[in-house]
Amino acid sequence: MTDQRAIIEQLTAYRGLFEALLKRREADCEAYANATPYEQNLWSSKRAQLERLADIDHAQRKINLFDAAMERVVVGQYGSCTCCGVSIDETRLTADPAEPNCTSCARSVALSPRTKQIDAGIACEAMVIRLDDNIAILALPSGEHGSLSLGEIADQPLGQLNEYLRVGDVVRVKSLGNDGSGRARLTMKMSRQVAA
């Protein structure tokens, strides 16, 4: 029992580190988004902003992994591979206490081709990198690009895209799946239901 508590305490401590990172990066992102273009150029760069978005994405994934690991402790499955059920090597768990997989399962995950596509329904922060008349191209934290049309900005959009967005803006978006040209089709209407 004390063993279980020690594991939970350790997982909680590590989770806290990523939560602190997440909060810092989110605050920086918000400050950047609210700054004037001149201020943005003064103390930051778009590249730095993209790195912050990537950090946010990474921290969020880590937090999710720690949460999942804590759930496994509670149900008595901590230390077993979530894929095949065998005991995870002690050295692996020492290196990363949230590790969900044994060496061989982790290897097969790493070898399988990575789908460069964000799943429909996933919400994230993205930065406007190009604005055309009818479409905005946004950089997602995953490194992919997404497209956003005027109709996905507001229910009854008036005027043109550039009246709502500027290049460098960071907005919260949700993916509606693939847009047919290798990008994610995005919406800013967060309550919009994603077709199954």
User: Virtual CA dihedral for 26, 32, 35, 39, nearest 10 degrees?
Assistant: 150
Give 65 or 81: the residue with its C-beta nearer to Zn ion: 81
Question: Closer to Zn ion at the Cβ: 81 or 188?
Answer: 81
In the complex, which residues of this chain contact Zn ion (CB under 5 A)?
A: 81, 83-84, 102, 105
CB of 65 to Zn ion, least distance (A): 16
| Residue 64 DSSP SS3 | helix
**Chain centre to alpha carbon of residue 110:** 19
CA distance 97 to 120: 30
Cβ of residue 76: shortest distance to Zn ion, in angstroms? 17
Q: 100 or 141: whose CB is closer to Zn ion? A: 100
CB of 86 to Zn ion, least distance (A): 5
Residue positions counted in the chain? 196
Could you tell me which residues are beta bridge partners of residue 126?
A: 171
CB closer to Zn ion, 22 vs 102:
102
| Minimum distance from residue 96 beta carbon to Zn ion (Å) | 15
Instruction: Kindly state the smallest distance separating residue 72's Cβ from Zn ion, in Å.
Output: 13
Long-range contacts of 139-144 (CB under 8 A, 24+ apart): 139/50, 139/53, 140/53, 140/184, 141/50, 141/53, 141/54, 141/56, 141/57, 142/57, 142/116, 142/118, 143/54, 143/116, 144/116, 144/117, 144/118, 144/183, 144/184
Place of tokens 């090597």: 89
Taking the least distance from each CB to Zn ion, the nearer of 81 and 128 is: 81
